[in-house]
Amino acid sequence: MADAPDSKSGARKGVWVRVPPSVLVLSCAILHLSKATFIMWKPKTCKIETLGCKVNQYESQYFREMLELNGIVEANDFESPDLCIINTCTVTHDADAKGRTLIRKIHSRNPNTKILVTGCYAERAPESIAKIEGVSSVIGNKELFLNSLEQYGIDQRPLHITRFDDHQRAFVKVQDGCLLNCSYCIIPSVRPALSSRKPELIIAEIEDLIVSGYKEIVLTGIHLGHYGIDLSKGKPKAQWCRLWHLLEKISDKFPQIRIRLSSIEAAEARDDLIDTIKARPQVAPHFHLCLQSGSDNILRQMRRRYSRQGFIERCKRISKALENPGFSTDIIIGFPGETDDDFKDTCELAREIGFYKMHLFPYSPREGTPAALLKDPVSPQIKLQRRKILEQIEQSNLYTYQQSLLGMRENVLVESKCSLRDGWVEGTSSRGIRIMLPGMIEAIRRKMIPVTISGIYQGMLEAEPLPEPENSIHQLREPVGKKRFNLALVNN
């Protein structure tokens, strides 16, 4: 039956049309053929390779579970996969180079594997990557990339991740995008859209991760401190949902796990956040505050949002509110125009705050950023010298901080065998520092063990296990009535 216009009213009315059987058969065949050519080939095995930050690692885990949901298994190390997804990073020139090297390595070992490239490097330079031999497609945008997988018959999506392979702690992405315009950074151009996940979706994901046995959740994002800006926009303050509100919701819902923040800006370690962490002992007193430089002159050229003194004062407020918190940071070495005095300011600030861990990045210009146009570059030799000085400061800070923790009680998440002692294990404390303790990894892997820190052995803290209280906030219990389902059986 087809619709034809009524001659009087102009409305359409039903008209029966007789169609020959041969036409119907041909139409059905064409429809079947078109669908068959859309899914040209469905892989049976896949490999996922990840470069870069915690957000990339989270997104790769989502890809992995999506493939499983669609009946595709991950190839082992000795198997040539049908499909390989490479999730790239572009934060530095080295990250770009690692991506290209990885693509060529995989293609040379697996010439028949279809290689799909996504991630920040794919978003920034798709034409360049597409020219590399063996690349089948390059799609940086994650939503477009997921849509592109439909051509391989991969069209079912999980609601969220339920585990975090090869990790004893689970990363949970709560936010994406960055609104800042730091002069050296390319990331806002490849992840510009600010987007926060709703709290109820995050809580549902954490609940499944707890069922899978995880006792520490690391909240991560491209700009974690901006979580909830989009969710709160246009609403009265009483209805806001910012990062500290999210911490309250998660810690109130799951008092038995530890929650850790990944890196945040010093300007966003505001009193609301500090007060929330102080009131909830399951939130780790560890702050990875991105410094980049301790010189006001360099900070202005970097277009950072704080001064040297402002950063110091924020750290002091944190230290006053919390018991012996741990501080780590990122520092860029050799930004254009960085003088000996500028570097001295950075060293003095690093000593004053006591960063026990510093991620050190020699500056490399990123095409498309304002800093790439700056003159007066610092030579590679000077960058190397300054790196060695900061590494020495880091070691001194670490030893001083370790000494300050002796005799304290801590909770250690056991992650691996101890590399320094047989019959010992090691893991991460609430303050983010590594601690070893006696035990067998097969029995206590991924368990939260209360300890007393007793000494330092070959540069690592050692501790004695304590009896775990019956009602410890770190004791994990599977939610009553909660059932695990094989991901491949979930139909979204």
pLDDT digits (tens, 9 = 90+) for 235-276: 999 999 999 999 999 999 999 999 999 999 999 999 999 999
Cβ atoms < 10 Å from Cβ of 459 = 11
Any residues with CB less than 8 A from the CB of 490 and at least 6 apart, and which?
69, 158, 159
Q: Is the pLDDT of residue 134 over 60?
A: yes
Decide which of 20 and 53 is more confident. 53
Mean pLDDT of the chain, nearest integer: 89
Q: Is the pLDDT of residue 45 over 50?
A: yes
Is residue 244 within a helix (H) or strand (E), and if so which, with residue range? helix 243-253
The whole-angstrom distance between residue 186's C-alpha and the CA centroid of its chain comes to 17
CA torsion sign for 269, 271, 276, 280 is positive
Q: pLDDT for 314-342, tens place per residue? A: 999 999 999 999 999 999 999 999 999 99
380, two tokens = 């590679």
Question: Domains in the chain, ordered, with CATH?
Answer: 2-31 (no CATH), 45-152 (3.40.50.12160), 172-284 (3.30.750.210), 293-405 (3.30.750.200), 406-492 (2.40.50)
State what percent of residues in the chain have pLDDT above 90: 83
* pLDDT at position 43: 87
Any residues with CB less than 8 A from the CB of 198 and at least 6 apart, and which?
231
Tell me the backbone φ, ψ of residue 361, rounded to 5 degrees.
Answer: -125, 110
Q: Are 211 and 259 in contact (CB under 8 A)?
A: no
Is residue 79 within a helix (H) or strand (E), and if so which, with residue range? none
The whole-angstrom distance between residue 477's C-alpha and the CA centroid of its chain comes to 26
pTM: 0.86
Closest CA to 335 of 366, 290, 368, 310: 366
What three-state secondary structure class fits 294?
A: coil
240, two tokens = 């806001």
What three-state secondary structure class fits 52?
A: coil
* pLDDT at position 17: 39
* pLDDT at position 38: 52
* pLDDT at position 484: 36
What three-state secondary structure class fits 340?
A: helix
Ramachandran category for residue 354: left, alpha or beta (phi over 0 → left; psi -120 to 50 → alpha): left
Q: Is the pLDDT of residue 27 over 50?
A: no
* pLDDT at position 11: 43
CA 190 to CA 187: how far, in whole Å?
5
pLDDT-derived band of residue 39, with 50, 70 and 90 as boundaries? low
Q: pLDDT for 76-121, tens place per residue? A: 888 999 999 999 999 998 999 999 999 999 999 999 999 999 999 9
106, two tokens = 């995989």
Decide which of 182 and 6 is more confident. 182
